[in-house]
A = this chain, B = another copy of it.
Amino acid sequence: MKKLINKTENLVKESLAGVAAAHADLVKVHYDPNFVVRIDAPVRGKVAIISGGGSGHEPMHGGFVGRGMLDAACPGDVFTSPTPDQMEAATKAVDGGAGVLHIVKNYTGDILNFEMAAELCQAAGIEVAAVVIDDDVAVKDSLYTAGRRGVGTTVLAEKICGAAAERGDNLAKVVDVCRKVNANGRTMGMALTSCTVPAAGRPTFEISDTEMEIGIGIHGEPGRERMALKPAKEIVEMMANVILSDLPFKSGDQVIVMVNGMGATPLMELYLVYNELNKICQAKGITIVRQLVGNYITSLDMAGCSITLLKVDEELLTLWDAPVHTPALRWGV
């Protein structure tokens, strides 16, 4: 295993210390339990938004803490759900009196732990709501998950809900916006190589030099199909076909697209993937109105990509365009 780390057991904390040092103008990091909060939290009268999950998917979630996006992020160990005390402490730290939304990716551990934290906070008089993101069209049930996994749409939901909270929407409205994003977002991923979890020290799965895995999860969970590596054009067509037919997306739709690298994919390949996807959307009369191309929800050092399409209306697009200032996403400021 080749990684730029010291002791495996200190990786998450030492990485968080780097985030704290690099972005002291944007975020503050708390330890034991670990969570990242925006520097001006709690913001009085604003709905607070928290997400979290296993580490190893950076910049998600800690890189999305800041004005116009998350109020806090709770990083677990690598690929391990954060514990309820993290979400409880984060919720109490960011509650500004207008309630707290937990954006939870659909993994069984995440859901249980977020639920437990919510109960503890509600008992302390904080209004808490949760929305589960389950946008992965690749598989129905999976390792770690009943139902569809929560993947790329989470990034878009955090941005859009963050903007809704920032403009003063109440908790019920922010919840509605989050559900709307989840209802209109679809994602599928693929891997060329496995990731290597530091504590394991070896690749999560074996894959030959001539194969790829279509429909992979962000922890290296099995996908739909292991098959021979194909040209990017065919790979993108396979993924887009599943995504587009699922909602379904149709001619006249406006979409935000995210072409996301799994961690070890060169940016020039991601742009090539975007080019193929753009041609498919054009041919189907679907207009890409905004896009992200880069590493946003990663899987450590996995090579591969995921494609997310979010159908948007005027409301979601306006919220997308609102200013955001976080370590990993910034515009309008």
A241 lies within 8 A of chain B by Cβ: no
Nearest chain B CB to A116's CB is how many angstroms away? 26
Q: What are 6 A-B interface contacts by the 8 Å CB criterion?
A: A2-B229, A4-B269, A4-B272, A21-B278, A58-B271, A267-B298
Other-chain contact of A232, B4, B229, B288, B304 (Cβ < 8 Å): B4
Give the complex CA separation of A3 and B83 in angstroms. 37
Other-chain contact of A266, B267, B272, B288, B298 (Cβ < 8 Å): B298
* A6 in contact with B233 (CB, 8 Å): yes
* A56 in contact with B268 (CB, 8 Å): yes
Question: Quick one: closest B residue to A264, CB to CB?
Answer: B264
Identify 7 new A-B residue pairs, CB closer than 8 A, beyond the known A6-B231, A19-B271, A264-B303.
Answer: A3-B192, A4-B273, A15-B269, A18-B293, A58-B266, A267-B295, A295-B295
* A232 in contact with B6 (CB, 8 Å): yes
Instruction: State which residues 267-284 of A face B: CB under 8 Å.
Output: 267-275, 278
Other-chain contact of A301, B229, B271, B303 (Cβ < 8 Å): B303
Tell me the interface secondary structure of chain A in the complex: mixed
Q: Could you tell me how many residues of chain A have their Cβ less than 8 Å away from some Cβ of chain B?
A: 59
Give the complex CA separation of A263 and B265 in angstroms. 7
| A21/B275 contact (C-beta < 8 A), A235-B4, A268-B56 known | yes
CB-CB nearest 4 A-B residue pairs? A18-B271, A18-B275, A264-B264, A58-B267
A330 lies within 8 A of chain B by Cβ: yes
State the number of copies, please.
2
Give the complex CA separation of A195 and B266 in angstroms. 10
Give the complex CA separation of A15 and B278 in angstroms. 12
A300 lies within 8 A of chain B by Cβ: yes
Interface string of A49-75 (1 = CB under 8 A from B): 000000110110001000000000000
Question: Quick one: closest B residue to A19, CB to CB?
Answer: B271
* B331 in contact with A272 (CB, 8 Å): no
Contacts of A40 in B (CB 8 A): none
| A264/B263 contact (C-beta < 8 A), A22-B274, A272-B15 known | yes
Question: Quick one: closest B residue to A4, CB to CB?
Answer: B269
* A17 in contact with B275 (CB, 8 Å): yes
* B303 in contact with A272 (CB, 8 Å): no
Other-chain contact of A11, B11, B209, B235, B272 (Cβ < 8 Å): B272
A305 lies within 8 A of chain B by Cβ: yes
* B264 in contact with A232 (CB, 8 Å): no
A176 lies within 8 A of chain B by Cβ: no
* B22 in contact with A293 (CB, 8 Å): yes
Other-chain contact of A330, B264, B273, B303, B331 (Cβ < 8 Å): B331
